[in-house]
């Protein structure tokens, strides 16, 4: 079961959840279209955002660079919020 650490996607924010000791960020990565994603981040990144919401941009930028370096396209949806 997911434990919400930060945010609420229904309010246009990112959301951070903890699941089985791992941390995931849920966010809309689309520019001109909605592309919901859920990607794993470090515990440090999760709590950096929880303490300072201005860190969202930096964490997402670093995450997307990591995904690209692994051959993952960070602008393609891989998750859908419950409606």
Residue 74 lies in a domain: no
Long-range contacts of 61-70 (CB under 8 A, 24+ apart): 63/25, 63/39, 64/29, 67/39
Q: Supply the range of the domain harboring residue 17.
A: 3-69
Tens of pLDDT, residues 5-61: 999 988 778 999 999 999 999 999 988 888 999 999 999 999 999 999 999 999 999
Q: What is the pLDDT of residue 13?
A: 82
Q: What is the pLDDT of residue 83?
A: 58
Residue 82 lies in a domain: no
Q: Where is pLDDT greater, at 1 or 47?
A: 47
Residue 81 lies in a domain: no
Residue 78 lies in a domain: no
Q: What is the pLDDT of residue 11?
A: 74
Residue 56 lies in a domain: yes
**The pTM of the whole model exceeds 0.85:** yes
Please give the tally of structural domains in the chain. 1
């Amino acid at each position: 079961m997911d434990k919400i650490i930060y945010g609420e996607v229904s309010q246009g924010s990112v959301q951070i959840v903890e699941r089985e000791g791992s941390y995931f960020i849920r966010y809309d990565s689309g520019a001109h279209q909605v592309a919901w994603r859920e990607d794993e981040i470090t515990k440090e990144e999760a709590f950096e955002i929880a303490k300072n919401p201005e860190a969202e941009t930096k964490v997402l930028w670093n995450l997307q660079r990591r995904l690209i370096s692994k051959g993952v396209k960070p602008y393609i949806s891989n998750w859908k919020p419950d409606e």
